[in-house]
Structure 1
Amino acid sequence: MTKTINASGVGNPINRVEGHLKVMGMAKYASEFPVENKVYGQGINSTIAKGEIISIDTSEAEKLKGVLKVITYKNATKLKTFDEEMPELATDSIAPVLQSNKVHYYGEYVGLVVAETFEQAQYAASLVKFEYKKDPSAVIDFEKSKSKAYTPNNDSNYSRGNMEQGLSEADMVVEQTYNTPIEHHHPMELHAVIASWDNGKVTAYSSQQIVEDAIVAISGTFQIPKKDVRVISAFVGGGFGSKLNLDRHVIMAVMASKMVARPVQVTVTRTQMFTNTNMRQQNEQKMRIGSKKDGTLTALSHETLSHTSTTQEYQEPCGMVSKMLYKVANNEVTYKLIPMNIQTPFAMRAPGEATGSFALESAMDEMAWKLKMDPIDFRIKNDTQTDLHEERPFSSRLLVECLRIGADKFGWKDRKPEPRTNKKGNWLIGYGVSAASRNSPYQKTHAKVILELDEDKVFATIQMDATDIGTGSYTIIAQTASEYLKIPVEQVTVELGDSNFPITPGSGGSWGAASYCNGARAACENAIKTLKNNKNIAEDEEVEVAELLKKNQLTKFKAEGMAEPSAEFKKYSVFSFGANFCEVWVDKDTGMYRIERMVNVGAAGKILNPKTAYGQIIGGLTMGVGMVMAEKTRVEPNFGNFITRSFADYHVPVNLDLANIDVIFLPEVDKIANKMGIKGIGELGITSVAASITNAIFNATGKRMRSLPVTPEKLIEAGLEEGVTA
């Protein structure tokens, strides 16, 4: 629960309404709820990539003071298991764990120790001895396993026109392969849960992005009614997609609570965040682009090779952007997956767009170079107001405006088209650009408003099971209620993240702001409408809420509302668009480089709060910088464990890595998107950032970086592209 502060209404850059709770340590995250009689669980991880457990010795751990239970497949509660082989991983998938002696990847949970204290549980876990029979057929090397790739059976492959004919009509063809590595989400808050089983009823304080889907997953895994499950996720300390689905530590905590008859807290360690939560797939993306001499695209093909686990299927939709961003009649997008003995990957911020746009926008820059055409002019030449993939017009599309306004703000006119010609001492200076797009979903959302009259003041409480993953949900919902009830924002309380509240789609996919705020709007409008109807007051008559309550002789009134996409919405493609500009300085002798400036321009509908929106873009840009400069999860090729297992070896950007950043939001009115004109922005900020940086590196050095991350070694070893003068 948070009390709001500061000024009223949407569009104002007010401070976060929950900010004071966070800085005072009063905002409760999953592991911080004061649950009586709580004990602690510590997961135990496998040390082989594939095989089976042939013996377990728990005796030493069980003798330890404070240890209540050691749970393995031998004594675990029987759970629902998959009905089919290799089911697709979804946000509401069941999560069976400790159900057999089979091991499918290094780090898979093989046990859980429950003890009175966290320290006792950790130490006892180290005393449990497992003996394994290794299976030498484990698949852990991406490069050596390409022959095992298969085409997913989910109708994701797509084509229009005739790709080969389009290439034959081209005067210029670019055919290149781009590689992105495994990445991990690593939110500040570790995955954690406090779970209790009480006579078949489950309560879980769990760090989840989607409360309703967590309930579906728990009830489905334990085969109990949904009504007997309650999930509370009041504050989430970052997710980036890693907390969209329910991971197995939650199921183990619920199981343990049932077995020891006490609430159990399980916290995933930072090292386990590599092996026991999801990750972004490694992707090998082959691009083929054909163009006329005048810059008209004739063909665009995007082939992605990725991996999934041997138990569940997930495919990052890297070709999503290539289907719709540019006007090209002949288009093909295909996917193949390699089953590997690594855990199942899943969505990471802008899944598909972040990685796919790196390949697409790099290839577009390569084509512009071959054509001797300005990269911005080339993109504008192939702009379209119709989504050719969906065969629908865009509800609004200001991509050209983003590119032109960004170019002016950035000083693109000062760019020297010929690589290696802009120098300052030992530095080679380059400018890069990329276009960005992100689908802006809008999903059915329910909300409740409770109005209370205190003398002449109305206080409102908004309730929904929406989550705030650090993006500012509390704030923009409070501003929405303030706007539609016409009361000061400090008189609004927002309560989120409890499955006892009305159902929402949760946080993810850039649908949160549009869905939550329109749900809150609908509840407020319904309250006012009902109060007016009760007293035969015309709907268009302006009457303050306090006066309406008085006329109805009420001091408290509740109303619910539901918002969902309109019939018109379904006739259009609704996207946010943007452009990234980057200036990079590269030391010509060492290959060391720094990002000097970044300009990001976005057209994302109504900006509810410029301050929180700015924070979202900064976060996205930072993650884009991480893709290029540092982030890579390394798999040990012999054993299948991750070499990177802490922040000591999995590097992320820090302040000194970041540039001077300008963020520009274009005014955009799009009432087709939804009644409030809101579009998603959280994932637009990371989309194609990587390409803008590597394109700038090419402009500086004449060297194409097609494999991320870009290290000084790669830059030193790379040769100049054809046509570049040393």
Structure 2
Amino acid sequence: MTKTKNTSGVGNAINRVEGHLKVMGKAKYATEFPVENKVYGQAINSTISKGEIISIDTSEAEKLDGVLQIITYKNAEKLKTLEGVRPEIATDTIAPVLQSNKVHYYGEYVGLVVAETFEQAQYAASLVKFEYKEDTSAVIDFEKSKEKAYTPDNGSNYSRGNMQKGLSEADMVVEQTYNTPIEHHHPMELHATIANWDNGKVLAYASQQIVEDATISISATFQIPKKDVRVVAAFVGGGFGSKLNLERHVILAVMASKMVKRPVQVTVTRTQMFTNTGLRQQNEQKMRVGAKKDGTLTALSHETLSHTSTTQEFQEPCGMVSKMLYNVPNNEVTYKLIPMNRQTPFAMRAPGEATGSFALESAMDEMAWKLKMDPLEFRIKNDTQTDLHEEKPFSSRLLVECLRIGADKFGWKDRKAEPRTNKKGNWLIGYGVSAASRNSPYKETHAKVLLELKEEKVYATIQMDATDIGTGSYTIISQTVSEYLDLPEEQVVVELGDSDFPVTPGSGGSWGAASFCNGARAACENAIKTLKNNRNIDQKEEIAVAELLKRNQLTKFEAEGMAKPSSEFEDYSIFSFGANFTEVWVDKDTGMYKIKKMVNVGSAGKILNPKTAYGQIIGGLTMGAGMVIAEQTRVEPNFGNFITRSFADYHVPVNLDMANIDVIFLPEEDKIANKMGIKGIGELGITSVAASISNAIFNATGKRMRDLPITPEKLIEAELEEGVKA
């Protein structure tokens, strides 16, 4: 008898299993849990970039009805504080707040008002008066502070071969600097929490990407046992990296709850999400590329200058792609950081790859132009099946296939090599290409599966502390359980985002799908294996789970499983690869441009659900387009506050900004990466998108745009590149 195909298992484009909860408003986000006796906290921000608080007047706020507590450094709970000079920030770092009168950046939290209602807390917060002694030595201006840059002591600088030798062997050298501005994450759901301190035990409903690390951060900050902290993040309305680590509003809420002895909700305002929830660093990237006349690369150097805060260190790894993407014998990657009076930066979608690929893939395009080579063929010529940085073979690498298939789908053959020659009326039309790569981590993951036999049907519940940040974790985990237990999806329940569940690495870094699903697979396989062993059934015998439970005389059964990388995993370099193609139309008089067409091709292992994967790529392409079109957070050069402070002035792409998009997934199952053959896809979608658009703009206009975002004003003012005919 032929086994019927499971139409809800992995590889099928089923609808999101949690979709009905979201459209009905039943999916509970951090501040939607019904908590009795809840009160509200409103954080107060500093209005100087550096200095100290010399007086605080709370008298007016204290007179208001409903005000329960005003917390400042004077009465705050004593917390564990950071040690050393600029310790590195991580996803489980402590987050002390209100521990001294010192101010380190504009917008730093200096107080919290707790009141019966949200409105009372907000109004009272506006009445608290702070007097500061301002320190005029604040480091605010990036351009004026470059002499303060230092080399981080984290071993990130890298070299192989001899750069000078490689450059001397080159027939052509490109040496250019590319600039990317500060960007902010801005997920749809504001950062928020409801925290309750009850007899030394903490329960926090919090919008966090990594539940386990949030519990670690809370317990370490308050110096209480980790077992006494529970974090719940059942649904997270986007994060893009800003919710990887625990930000200080959560600590404020926990502290306030301890002080007022009631649950406290703290929601970060949209304006505060500019100053208090991380950002993507401003990066100045100097590229030097050397090549022979035939297109063979001889040297590649990538130097990045960024900023960090004066209290913690974070470095965006912009040179990551330059170390491994191409076959170049002489390679150098270096970093420098400027300590500035700004909030600590942290990871934003594809940290390093999104920004670093703009510099690398723009420089590759510039070299192809100088060599008079097709930029597609130039990239293919320098392909490699070995990661020269790690000195390991790639587990699989279909970059050339991505480029070839994408070119065919896009119509690359119609591209005119000479800029400014493809015209339609007042429009200049250009084609651009870029290669993409993203590391595909796979991390140890634990899961529990609970089976219940009811009326001849088996219902499975899978539990893990993984989070769904809008990416579709509920759906692909459900499909995995459906696949490995051979059950219809409607008989599977997925429970996520609770630190009481088995530990996972959480969502981030493109490790979620591979880690979560293999953890779920392991739990399901262990359940079947144990049930068979209990009745001496051959492991190879195909037998329904319902029958297994019956033979074991059970109606309920549970099993746990753990998945982690194999020893073989360590012998290979594991990456996803892709290619981006973009067609732009630029108005030759106004500099206004339209993205007309985009083609994205990816090789990212087993695609668990083409529908949710497609959504991830569309989101990545949109964010990549945002980097080019408008996204930037501007700093006021005298006071250090952000001029950009709402969606009214922080522009992101909307539907009319986007193009006709084709997304292609190459068939690939990388069993070296993990048993299910899955690789990461969430961050591959944004990587090098900006370069493909910028390269298309050059092909259309003959103008090289090396500073993001590319605005019409910049295009009009830019000069034609040398060798381009007017």
Q: Secondary structure at the match of 1:185?
A: coil
Match of 1:551 in 2: 551
Mapped partners of 1:276, 1:119: distance in 2: 21
Match of 2:268 in 1: 268
**1:544 Cα deviation (Å)?**
0.6
Match of 1:513 in 2: 513
Map Cα deviations across residues 407-430 of structure 1 (whole Å, 9 max, x no partner).
000000000000000000000000
Match of 1:661 in 2: 661
Map Cα deviations across residues 114-142 of structure 1 (whole Å, 9 max, x no partner).
00000000000000000000000000100
Match of 2:377 in 1: 377
Q: Secondary structure at the match of 1:605?
A: coil
Mapped partners of 1:347, 1:574: distance in 2: 21
Match of 2:211 in 1: 211
Q: Secondary structure at the match of 2:618?
A: helix
**1:456 Cα deviation (Å)?**
1.2
Mapped partners of 2:26, 2:148: distance in 1: 51
The answer as to whether partners of 1:287 and 1:301 remain within 8 angstroms in 2 is yes
The one-letter code of the counterpart of 2:647 is: F
Match of 2:33 in 1: 33
Match of 1:696 in 2: 696
Match of 1:429 in 2: 429
The answer as to whether partners of 1:79 and 1:99 remain within 8 angstroms in 2 is yes
The one-letter code of the counterpart of 2:156 is: S
1:430-449 superposed matches below 5 A: 430-449=430-449
Map Cα deviations across residues 556-602 of structure 1 (whole Å, 9 max, x no partner).
00000000000000000000000000000000000000000000000
The answer as to whether partners of 2:445 and 2:563 remain within 8 angstroms in 1 is yes
The one-letter code of the counterpart of 1:418 is: E
Match of 1:3 in 2: none
1:49-198 superposed matches below 5 A: 49-198=49-198
Match of 1:575 in 2: 575
1:294-309 superposed matches below 5 A: 294-309=294-309
Mapped partners of 2:641, 2:7: distance in 1: 51
**1:33 Cα deviation (Å)?**
0.5
Mapped partners of 2:714, 2:18: distance in 1: 44
Mapped partners of 2:51, 2:653: distance in 1: 37
**1:11 Cα deviation (Å)?**
0.5
Mapped partners of 1:240, 1:448: distance in 2: 27
Mapped partners of 2:504, 2:61: distance in 1: 43
Structure 1, unaligned runs of 5 or more: 1-5
**1:83 Cα deviation (Å)?**
2.1
Relative to the length of structure 2, the TM-score reads 0.99
The one-letter code of the counterpart of 1:389 is: H
**1:669 Cα deviation (Å)?**
2.0
Mapped partners of 1:7, 1:344: distance in 2: 46
1:246-285 superposed matches below 5 A: 246-285=246-285
Mapped partners of 2:669, 2:192: distance in 1: 40
Mapped partners of 1:623, 1:203: distance in 2: 34
**1:85 Cα deviation (Å)?**
1.7
Mapped partners of 2:200, 2:220: distance in 1: 13
The one-letter code of the counterpart of 1:127 is: L
Mapped partners of 1:229, 1:669: distance in 2: 39
Mapped partners of 1:213, 1:85: distance in 2: 23
**1:84 Cα deviation (Å)?**
1.5
**1:455 Cα deviation (Å)?**
2.1
Mapped partners of 1:85, 1:360: distance in 2: 32
- Alignment length, in residue pairs? 721
The answer as to whether partners of 1:353 and 1:438 remain within 8 angstroms in 2 is yes
The one-letter code of the counterpart of 2:474 is: Y
Map Cα deviations across residues 358-389 of structure 1 (whole Å, 9 max, x no partner).
00000000000000000010000000000000
Q: Secondary structure at the match of 1:244?
A: coil
Mapped partners of 2:655, 2:422: distance in 1: 26
The answer as to whether partners of 1:402 and 1:601 remain within 8 angstroms in 2 is yes
Map Cα deviations across residues 28-57 of structure 1 (whole Å, 9 max, x no partner).
000110000000000000000000000000
The answer as to whether partners of 2:185 and 2:240 remain within 8 angstroms in 1 is yes
The answer as to whether partners of 1:50 and 1:103 remain within 8 angstroms in 2 is yes
Q: Secondary structure at the match of 2:366?
A: helix
The answer as to whether partners of 1:7 and 1:490 remain within 8 angstroms in 2 is no
Mapped partners of 1:22, 1:548: distance in 2: 35
Mapped partners of 1:719, 1:386: distance in 2: 39
Q: Secondary structure at the match of 1:193?
A: strand
**1:82 Cα deviation (Å)?**
1.1
Mapped partners of 1:32, 1:163: distance in 2: 56
The answer as to whether partners of 1:445 and 1:562 remain within 8 angstroms in 2 is yes
The one-letter code of the counterpart of 2:547 is: E
Mapped partners of 1:185, 1:455: distance in 2: 48
Q: Secondary structure at the match of 1:239?
A: coil
Map Cα deviations across residues 241-272 of structure 1 (whole Å, 9 max, x no partner).
00000000000000000000000000000000
Match of 2:606 in 1: 606
1:439-518 superposed matches below 5 A: 439-518=439-518
Mapped partners of 1:661, 1:474: distance in 2: 26
Match of 2:3 in 1: none
Match of 1:634 in 2: 634
Map Cα deviations across residues 649-669 of structure 1 (whole Å, 9 max, x no partner).
000000100000000000012
Q: Secondary structure at the match of 1:377?
A: helix
Match of 1:522 in 2: 522
Match of 2:366 in 1: 366
The answer as to whether partners of 1:448 and 1:520 remain within 8 angstroms in 2 is yes
Mapped partners of 1:82, 1:20: distance in 2: 44
Mapped partners of 1:496, 1:37: distance in 2: 26
**1:8 Cα deviation (Å)?**
1.4
Mapped partners of 1:489, 1:28: distance in 2: 22
Q: Secondary structure at the match of 1:667?
A: coil
The answer as to whether partners of 1:197 and 1:203 remain within 8 angstroms in 2 is yes
The one-letter code of the counterpart of 2:201 is: K
Match of 1:48 in 2: 48
Q: Secondary structure at the match of 2:246?
A: coil
Mapped partners of 2:163, 2:456: distance in 1: 68
Mapped partners of 1:169, 1:467: distance in 2: 51
Mapped partners of 2:556, 2:249: distance in 1: 42
**1:8 and 2:1 correspond:** no
Q: Secondary structure at the match of 1:98?
A: coil
Q: Secondary structure at the match of 2:584?
A: strand
Mapped partners of 2:156, 2:200: distance in 1: 40
Q: Secondary structure at the match of 2:301?
A: strand
- 1:7/1:490 CA distance change after superposition, 3 Å: farther
**1:7 Cα deviation (Å)?**
4.3
The one-letter code of the counterpart of 2:552 is: N
Q: Secondary structure at the match of 1:15?
A: coil
Mapped partners of 1:365, 1:147: distance in 2: 31
The answer as to whether partners of 2:447 and 2:462 remain within 8 angstroms in 1 is yes
Q: What is the root-mean-square deviation in Å for CA atoms of aligned residues?
A: 0.5
**1:410 and 2:401 correspond:** no
The answer as to whether partners of 2:669 and 2:676 remain within 8 angstroms in 1 is no
The one-letter code of the counterpart of 2:415 is: R
Q: Secondary structure at the match of 1:690?
A: helix
Mapped partners of 1:490, 1:160: distance in 2: 54
The one-letter code of the counterpart of 2:425 is: G
1:331-342 superposed matches below 5 A: 331-342=331-342
The one-letter code of the counterpart of 1:360 is: L
The one-letter code of the counterpart of 2:112 is: L
Q: Secondary structure at the match of 1:376?
A: helix
Q: Secondary structure at the match of 1:197?
A: strand
Mapped partners of 2:511, 2:504: distance in 1: 10
Match of 1:708 in 2: 708
1:219-258 superposed matches below 5 A: 219-258=219-258
The answer as to whether partners of 1:445 and 1:563 remain within 8 angstroms in 2 is yes
Structure 2, unaligned runs of 5 or more: 1-5
**1:462 Cα deviation (Å)?**
0.2
